[in-house]
A and B are shown apart, each in its own frame.
Chain A
Amino acid sequence: MKKLLIPLAVALLLVLAVPAAFAETEWELGVGLTPGWIGGNTDPNADPLLNFHVGYSWNIVYLSWDAYAMPDYWTYANTTYVDPGTGYEVFGYLVPSFLNLFDVGIKIVLKPFIGYAEVGPNFLYLRGGQSYGKVGVNIRLGAGVKFGWWGINLSGTQVFASWNDMRGAFHEAGNGDWSYITQGMAPTLNFTLYF
């Protein structure tokens, strides 16, 4: 707990002290497109994946919810696992799904440029009304431009199976190896409306 005090204090000071020129208080609505191969499709002509975005920024604090529409083969690959108790493969769900990312982080605005960094948990909604119990986590970095009420930005999202996996990736980054964070990062082109 003591280890968190200093970073939390720094974060609080930043939130209170950052000049208005670097921050915005606003709502966001948007859509994004991610290359189809991210879903596991080897077809070079695969359709891009669509995601829906809702965000809110208060000063530099940034909250967002992104729902990525994932194809059935991605859902199947990510819900199939080997039962550690029996050693047998447990087959997953071959249905489309929404990968929901609930993130919190910071967003800096230096007009017309914006940049953000977030982290948060993932939840999977399966077509048919089920939610998948195993929750992963993700980090997201993004940068782009904003012109008043609309903007475009490019983000990179890295999904981890657990908080431990993410901690491990940051540990390796601290040792100079950023590949655990950047390799396999899903790029998304986002189109956003600001209110």
Chain B
Amino acid sequence: MKTRKLLPLIILTVAAVLALSSCDAILDAIFASNQITVDVAVFGTLQQPSNPGSYVSVVLSNTSGYVASENGYSRSSIDGFGYVHFYVTFPKLEDDTYFLSVLYHGYLGGIWASPFGSTYFYDPDGYLTNNCTMPFPSSYDSTGRSATFNVEIY
């Protein structure tokens, strides 16, 4: 009779110990996917913050080809270095090597400029590269599941 009453408590204790020792594994199982955020910094004189037309288009691809694309309309105000930032996020990515292609579509002085951009970007630790393998451990995220890459357009 005592054993029957203790059994749920034993099960709870074992479950709690297992859970505590595998917190990271549980979190990885729940949030298994990778996320890439692209911070496109455009030099302020290339566009007027008051004009909502300017945007960036970012294409994500891997060795098999196209993966996804997003346009970034959100922007920050001009930072201390004279850049305006556009952000694009690609969530729920599989473990793979990715390439980025960024084009800036500027609307300045009432006309659309020819888009231009870059396929090179800075990784979270500031190194220039043209590809990233997810997960991408860095000093900002030891798991590597979420990485922000920076592109400068000037």
Contact = CB atoms under 8 A, between A and B. Distances in A.
Interface in A21-70: 27, 29, 50, 52, 54, 67, 69
Interface string B10-29: 00100110010001101110
A125 B21 CA distance: 12
B19 A52 contact: yes
Contact of A125 (B8, B23, B28, B30): B23
B141 interface: yes
Contacts of B148: 94
Interface string A93-123: 1111110000000000000000000000000
A71 B89 CA distance: 15
Given A72-B35, A195-B8, A50 B30 contact: yes
Contacts of A71: 31
Given A69-B31, A98-B23, A129-B24, A54 B16 contact: yes
A128 interface: yes
A95 B143 contact: yes
Interface string B31-49: 1000100000000000000
B140 A94 contact: yes
A62 B57 CA distance: 53
Interface residues of B, number: 21
B143 A27 contact: no
B145 interface: yes
Contacts of B24: 127-129
A98 B27 contact: yes
B9 A27 contact: yes
A98 B141 CA distance: 16
A129 to B, nearest CB: 7
Nearest to B144: A95
Nearest to A41: B91
B23 A72 contact: no
Nearest to A52: B19
A153 B111 CA distance: 58
Contacts of A129: 24
Interface in B83-123: none
A51 to B, nearest CB: 10
Contact of B146 (A52, A95, A97, A125): A95
Given A27-B9, A27-B12, A29-B12, A94 B19 contact: no
A76 B141 CA distance: 11
A54 B12 contact: yes
Contacts of A128: 24, 142-143
Q: What are the nearest 4 A-B pairs in CB distance?
A: A195-B8, A96-B31, A96-B27, A128-B142
11 contacts: A27-B8, A69-B30, A69-B31, A71-B31, A72-B31, A91-B140, A93-B141, A95-B145, A95-B146, A96-B143, A127-B23
Interface of A: 27, 29, 50, 52, 54, 67, 69, 71-73, 91, 93-98, 125, 127-129, 195
Given A54-B16, A127-B143, 7 more contacts: A52-B19, A69-B26, A72-B141, A95-B142, A97-B27, A127-B23, A128-B142
